[in-house]
Each structure stands twice: as C-alpha cells, then as structure tokens.
Structure 1
C-alpha cells in the first residue's frame, strides 16, 4: 500500500488515474529502456557503416570511375560527410513534427525515410549508365539519410539516464553505445562474405547492393520494435512525467547553446577516433595494397568485438570514478595512441592489425560514456531536444569529416597528420571537460 503514497513535498495522489499513472511509470525498467536504445541505434549504425565501407570498396568504381583510386575514395568520403551536415536540420524538422502530431508519427516517418533512402542506394544505377545523375542521386539519398537519422531521435537514452540508480549510471549509459560495434560487426561480416564469395566484377556489378537491401529490412524490423516501446502507455507516461518533450530548437539554442557545444567538444576525442578506426584504416590499407581486403574486414570484425569489451569496461570504470573522469582518462589514452598511430599504420600487417584492435578498444572505452557525460547539464525539460542536438553537433565536428581529412592529409603530408588530427580532438575534449567542471563548481 505504501507505494501509492506520494513522497513528502510532492503533489497528492487524488484519483485512480493518478495511481494508474504511478503504476505505469513503475513498470518502465532501465533494462527494458536499454533494449529499446540498442535496437534503435543498431539499425542506424548498420546503415551508416554499410555506406562507409561502400565508400572504399564500391563507390570509387561504380560512381567515380573517371577519377584515380585516391580521388574516388575522397569524393565518396565527401558524400559520406553530408549526412552529418543534414542531421541537425532533421532533428529540428522532426521535433516540429512531433509537436504537431506525436512521437510515434515522427518516428514512423523518419525510419520510413531512412529505409527508402537506403533502398534507393541499393537500386542506384552507376556512372556508366546515367552519368552525373548517379552522383547527384547518391548525394540526395545521403542527405535524406542524415535528415532521417536526425528525426529518429526517440528520447529513450534520456529516459534511461533519468531512470537509472545514481550509482549505476555509467553502466546503463554504455548499454546504448553497444549498438555501434554491433552494427559495424554485422556490416563488415556481410561485406566480407560477399567480397570473398564473388569475383570482383560480380561484386562491383551487383553484389554490393545486398547490404543495402539488408539495411532496409533491418529498418523495418527496428521500426516495429521501437514503436512497440515508444508508443505504449507506460513509455508515454514516463516521458511526460520526466518532461521529455520536444522543445523548440530556437529556445534550446538561445538558452542552452553553451551546453550543446561543451557537450559536443567534451566527446570530440571519441568521435574523432570513431571513423579513424572503422573506415579510415580500410581506405589506407586498400590504397597502399599492404593487405587483402578480406583480411582487413576480418580483423575489423575482431576489432568490433574489442570495441564491445571496451564499452562494457567503461561502464564499470565510470561507476567507480565518474563518467566525466572516465572520459578524460580515455582522452589521455587516445592521445598516446595518436602518437603511435603513424608507426603502427606504416608497419607491416601485424602492426596494422594492432592499430585496428587497440583503436577499437580505446574507442569502446571512450565512446561508452561519450553520449551522456555532459548532457546531464541540461534542465530536465530541455534534455530531450538538448541531448539530440548535442549528439548531432558531436557527430558533425568530430566524425563527419574524419575519414576525408585523415586520408587526404595523410596522403599529402604523411601519417603524422593523423596524429595531429587525433591530438587536436584530445585537446578539445580535455579543455571542454575542464570548462564544464569549472561551470559546475561555480553553479
């Protein structure tokens, strides 16, 4: 009976409806929310990794046959970055959709758009068939992917953060981040199977299209799985009671703009490393012809497993020393890794494999706490939109141009440019964490 009594200082429970709302909220367990986060993000990460791998193995030959191998990959990486530029606009647009209709309607439209754009890439004719129209269509589909991913924000990570015990926040924060290595492992394994089973002509002609078909199918499954959680009465009540509703973007930028940029820069080292150990090594090794493509894809699958281990470890460590401290320690380790990167990448197969495995381990350790380490600064009523925009900006400034910049600079100035790029992210992370600590102390 005691569970129906309000806490001291809270509004009294005066009706059966109020009691029902309290019971509904009690049913929303952190583990159930975490499953929803993993399902939703894994489908999105798989989509993006399929595109990223295709930028190295497929698009230079299919869409940029007029360019050199290096220029073809650089052109593809330029298109790759467009989704991250479009993502904040998608967030703003679909927040308006949610205010006008509902969270379920917004999510349905966003994932339908994401799946349609992905399927469009699967059916895309090559440059030899329709010329520059093929490149234009790829750009369009990539922009639509970014807009859709911005619109697919469902607020579950924020709800998870607000419904976990304080002493376990690091552990639950890392659960949603497991989607990145899981999505990468599935994408890499699928490309490995196709590339090793088909000859080069068949792979370039039609084999590469199958991962995009699979991505469309996964989006359909993820849509129904997420809707089953998001539109239920329990989650709707929990979102409302936590005030996790779409605030106008103009209000967020006006009142909480500094928190958005502090949060984005605090995770910069992690996001900069993200594509430097997932997409960039494949492009570097393929251009240098130091290993077979299948060998690189296989070691990257093992790297994804190492990334999962690093993410799990971050949850354990964060609950003992704090999430911000964990992020700072991870940034320092990434700095040391950056100094060794040229020596490892320019070495033989063993050192290149070590770069991928160690890089994934560090990526998991830092990325595991990157999402929610600073978004807790937002007022609860602003956290829904604030967390979405912070994530968008972090991806944009940290990861969007990482493979393009790293490959372009390393080919022109050597691998020391990769070290400089990563170290700049480390410096930004440490400064942002220091500023955040100072602001928290002042408040």
Structure 2
C-alpha cells in the first residue's frame, strides 16, 4: 500500500466534492446510529437477559461508550501509519477495521447460546470500532472551508454535518421497518443482524467516496493544512486551544444522544408508548434537523458561527422544560429537540479548525474532536438514563443544561482570548 502523490491527483468540480462529502458522512453516521439504536432497543435483551431491563440497558450504554474512549488510540495508530502509507491508505485501513468489526457484531451469538462470552465479545468489538473511527479522521471540513468563498464558509462548513441527521434517518427508517414487519421473536433472533450487515455494504461506498475526495485537487487547497503536526509540539503550543475547542461542541453532542438514543430507552423502560411511534417521530424530527443544519450555515454567514451557537445554547433550557412530555406527548420534546440539534450540530465542527494556527489545524482539530466526543457523547445515554431512573426526567434535563453551560463558557473564554491577541 503506497501513498498517492499530488501528481497522481485529478481535478473535479466543487459540486462533485460536495456530493462525495455528503455520501461519505451519511454512510459513517448510518453505522454510528445503527449501533446506537441497537444499544437501546436490542442489546439489553440479546446480550444482558440475566439482568433486569434498566441495569441491562445501562450496561449496554456503558459498552456503547467504549468506542469513544478508543478513538484517541485509533488516532495515535493512524498518525504512525499515515507517515508510511499516506492519508488515503490510512483512512482505507481504518474503514476496513471499522467495517469488519461492525459485521462481526452482527454475527455474535446471543447470551443464551454462549453465555457471558457474548457481551464480552460485544465490548471487544465495540472498542475495535472506536479504533477504526479514530483512525478514519480525514479533515473533510478543513478541505471544504478552504475551498469555500469568504462569504460562504458557514454554509460550506455544514455540508459534512448533513451526514449526521441524514444518517440517523436512514438508520431509524431501517429499524422502523424491522420492528414493523418482523415479529418480536424474529427481530431479536436474527432481524437486528441485517442492520449491521447493511452497515458493511454502505461502508464500502464510504471508502470509495473518501478515497476519491482525498485523491482530488479541487483548487485553493493548501496541502500544509492536511499534514499532521508533532504531538509534543502540538500540545505544547496549543493545549489551551485544544481544551477550549474540545468543550465547544459538547452541547451539540449531548443533544444528539438525548434526541436519538435516550427517547428510545426511556420509552421502552418507563412508558407504554409504542416504540414504532417514537421512531416515527424521530424520523420526522431528523428530517427537520436536516433543514435546520442548512439554516445554521446561512445564519452563520449572516451573523457568525459563535452567534448561532450562543442562540442554540439559549434554547436548551426551553427543551429541558419540555422533557416531561416524553411520557404523554413525546412529539413535543422530540421535534423541538431535533430543531435545536440541527442548528447546533450544523456549526459544532466547523468552528473547531479556525481556533488553531494553520500548521496545527489538522491535528489540533482531530485531537479536539476526539476529546469532544468523549466529554459530550460517550456517556450521554448512560448518564441521562441513570439520572432519569434515580430522580426523574427533570434530572436528565439538567444533563442537557450542563452541556449548554460548558459550551457557553468555552465560547466566552475563546472570545476573550481572541480579543486579547
């Protein structure tokens, strides 16, 4: 496997690049949400039947967090590999690891067949997924923002972010079909496995989409922005920026899991609402979030990314007040939450790279993103469910509020640093 030289690159239009980016990100998030939904809907019964439903779901969510914890390790391994096989080779290998481990999860025998080995295998494979995720960092947002016109950086920056809500809608639609057309016995014995096999199929699409983008020259791209920086030098020069930028998207990542995973687990464990109804509302919410992501880019160009994030953080307390509707009118919480999520998530990643000096931008954004996912997303389903079980829904809403407070503080400190320079 050899790296691809710039002379071997071909040139495509920006429209081709946008299509490729969206395709790659949608397939990534499709796999991400297939596991997330299964961790609430399927795994507690398949891998933890020896526990009561709530502890079983909490343990399933604990294993869910392993992929986020493994991402930094994947990034470290990928940095070493990139020197030898180039960025395209590194991403290709990482996606192969991710795809293989995902399919393997769909092949794990149930607890009834192999006992405690089943959840152990799930944990191991989930960790390997995280290694693949960490290694697949490709700097797509950097490339697009570099190519964007000066007055359209916000809109261009949301293009990779569209993959989040679109990928969720595809994953949710798949589980909606599985839960609607299969009997309960069929779903839990073999039906859920098809979702993981589908991930492998789309992972191949993601692989070719990314390789096409990374071997493409679409003009205005500075190769120096896509090179890794020495880790020691990076932390020595940019440790404050890494900490602050890691805190910036925490509200968005907490929102993501509180809107996608938490409603499913809470509905199954604490209400009599049909799970198909919840998934249907989430599908509608995810569709609205796609529009909200695009609107966030328009607003960012007109005002600024910081103003958009300030605004979305201000809306989070309103969402927290609506969380009790999950029991009687779940559509209120779900639809409102997805609107706020779309506005927030649309700008959560595009703001990261600009905080770093150009030579540290690629590596700094990767490190900050990994820390952000750990702090804001890894334990969100676990903490929210534990709080709701122990104290009630109001306590889960405080978790949402804490994410908004962290993001607001990070925004304030970053603005203060910029004014001081």
Task: Classify the TM-score, shorter chain.
Answer: over 0.9
> For 1:148 and 1:249, how far apart are their aligned partners in 2?
20
Q: Does 1:34 align with 2:18?
A: yes
Mark the CA change 1:180 to 1:243 in structure 2 (over 3 Å): closer, same or farther: closer
Partner residue in 1 for 2:84: 100
Quote the RMSD (CA, aligned, Å).
Answer: 1.8
Q: How does 1:71-86 map to 2 (within 5 A)?
A: 71-86=55-70
> For 1:249 and 1:57, how far apart are their aligned partners in 2?
40
Q: How high is the TM-score relative to the length of structure 1?
A: 0.90
> For 1:89 and 1:54, how far apart are their aligned partners in 2?
25
Q: 1:108: Cα distance to partner?
A: 1.1
> For 1:203 and 1:335, how far apart are their aligned partners in 2?
37
Mark the CA change 1:370 to 1:31 in structure 2 (over 3 Å): closer, same or farther: farther
CA contact (8 A) 1:268 1:394 kept: yes
Partner residue in 1 for 2:252: 270
Q: 1:259: Cα distance to partner?
A: 1.1
Q: How does 1:230-249 map to 2 (within 5 A)?
A: 230-232=214-216, 234=217, 241-249=223-231
Q: Identify which of 183, 195, 207 aligns with 1:211.
A: 195
CA contact (8 A) 1:158 1:387 kept: no
Q: 1:254: Cα distance to partner?
A: 2.2
Partner residue in 2 for 1:159: 143
Q: Does 1:345 align with 2:335?
A: no
Any stretches of 5+ residues in structure 1 without a counterpart? 1-19
Mark the CA change 1:163 to 1:100 in structure 2 (over 3 Å): closer, same or farther: same
Q: 1:240: Cα distance to partner?
A: 5.3
> For 1:302 and 1:82, how far apart are their aligned partners in 2?
29
> For 2:372 and 2:325, how far apart are their aligned partners in 1?
27
Q: Identify which of 293, 307, 330 aligns with 2:275.
A: 293
Q: Does 1:250 align with 2:228?
A: no
For the pair shown, the structure with the greater C-alpha radius of gyration is 1
- Cα deviation, 1:339-375, whole Å, max 9, x if unaligned, reads 332x3224x1xx2111111101100000000102142
Mark the CA change 1:382 to 1:76 in structure 2 (over 3 Å): closer, same or farther: same
CA contact (8 A) 2:28 2:206 kept: no
> For 2:240 and 2:163, how far apart are their aligned partners in 1?
28
Q: How high is the TM-score relative to the length of structure 2?
A: 0.95
CA contact (8 A) 1:36 1:226 kept: yes
Partner residue in 2 for 1:14: none
- Cα deviation, 1:293-350, whole Å, max 9, x if unaligned, reads 1111111111110110110110111111101111111111112212332x3224x1xx
Any stretches of 5+ residues in structure 2 without a counterpart? 1-5
Q: Identify which of 311, 323, 327 aligns with 1:329.
A: 311
Q: 1:41: Cα distance to partner?
A: 1.9
Q: Identify which of 338, 344, 359 aligns with 1:381.
A: 359
CA contact (8 A) 2:157 2:347 kept: yes
Mark the CA change 1:31 to 1:247 in structure 2 (over 3 Å): closer, same or farther: farther
Provide the aligned length of Structure 1 versus Structure 2: 415
